[in-house]
Amino acid sequence: MLMRLTSRQRAFLRSRAHSLKPVVHIGSAGVTEATTQSLSEAFHTRELLKVRIQEGASGTTREIAEALAAGVDDAHVVQTIGRVAVLYRPFPEDPELRLPGA
């Protein structure tokens, strides 16, 4: 069940992500099965992740972020800024982050 984030929910998630450090790095190979697996594993312990996209990666930051979100069930692109993307996937049971209006 893929819900759509409202602008208010995205703003809430952006504020929470501000102090986070990137936990997944995308290199020149771009989005591979290994990076999707790494992202999926990171989502087991966190709901909100920052991803750094290296300079040599093919495609725009938005395209890469969308490809990453598509590779992980129920993941959403919250924001892309520069070479950094913020992704969100709620825990299936008992989410830690309570989204406004949800």
**Cβ proximity of 28 and 53 under 8 Å:** no
Fold of 20-88: Translation Initiation Factor IF3 (3.30.110)
pTM above 0.85, yes or no: yes
**Cβ proximity of 50 and 83 under 8 Å:** no
Walk along the chain (102 residues) and give the pLDDT tens digit of each residue.
457 889 999 999 999 999 999 999 998 888 889 999 999 999 999 999 999 999 988 889 999 999 999 999 889 999 999 999 999 999 888 778 888 876
DSSP string, 27-63: -TT-S-HHHHHHHHHHTTT-SEEEEEE-TT-SS-HHH
**Length of the chain, please?**
102
